[in-house]
Amino acid sequence: DIQMTQSPSAVSASVGDRVTITCRASQGISNSVAWFQQKPGKVPQRLIYASSSLQSGVPSRFSGSGSGTEFVLTISSLQPGDSATYFCLQHNTFPLTFGGGTKVEIK
C-alpha cells in the first residue's frame, strides 16, 4: 500500500499568513493527489485535484503543487473561515490512501 505522510499534524497561524501542508508518498504516484478541507461535523470538500487543479468554486488562495512523491497544499493568505482539517488523498493505485490530516487553527 502507498503511505501518505502528511505534515504538520497541526498549525496555528494568523489571518493573512501563508500556510503550507505537505504530503509525502511512499512511492511515486505521478500527480494523482487531491486535497480536501473538512470542518467539524461536515462532509469533506475537495479543493484541489490532479495535484494542482483548483476545484470549481474554491478560492484562488488555495493552490496545490507537486509530482512523484511530494505534494504541497498552500493557503496563500489565511482567512478566518479556513479553520478546518485538511487532508490529502492519493488515487494512483488501489487501495486509495489518505494523509493523516492537518488541523489549521487561526490565532
Partner 1 sequence: QVQLVQSGAEARKPGASVKVSCKVSGDSFREISWHWVRQTAAKGLEWMGGFDPTDGLITYAQKFRGRVILTEDSSTDTVSMELTSLRNEDTAAYYCMIGMGRTWGQGTLVTVSS
d(CA 25, CA 4): 5
Q: Are strands 102-106 and 70-75 parallel, antiparallel or unpaired?
A: unpaired
Out of 58, 61, 101, 106, point to the residue binding partner 1 (CB under 8 A).
Answer: 101
Q: With CB under 8 A as the rule, give the number of residues binding partner 1.
A: 18
- Give the shortest CB-69-to-partner 1 separation in angstroms: 19
Out of 49, 62, 71, 86, point to the residue binding partner 1 (CB under 8 A).
Answer: 49
> CB-based contacts of 65: which residues, under 8 Å, 6+ apart?
51, 52, 71, 72, 74
71 binds partner 1 per the rule CB under 8 A: no
Cell numbers at residue 50, please?
490532479
Helix then strand count (H, E) for the chain reads 0, 11
Please, which residue, 17 or 54, has the CB nearer to partner 1? 54
Please, which residue, 1 or 105, has the CB nearer to partner 1? 1
**Contact residues: partner 1, CB under 8 A:** 1, 34, 36, 43-44, 46, 49, 55, 87, 89, 91, 94-98, 100-101
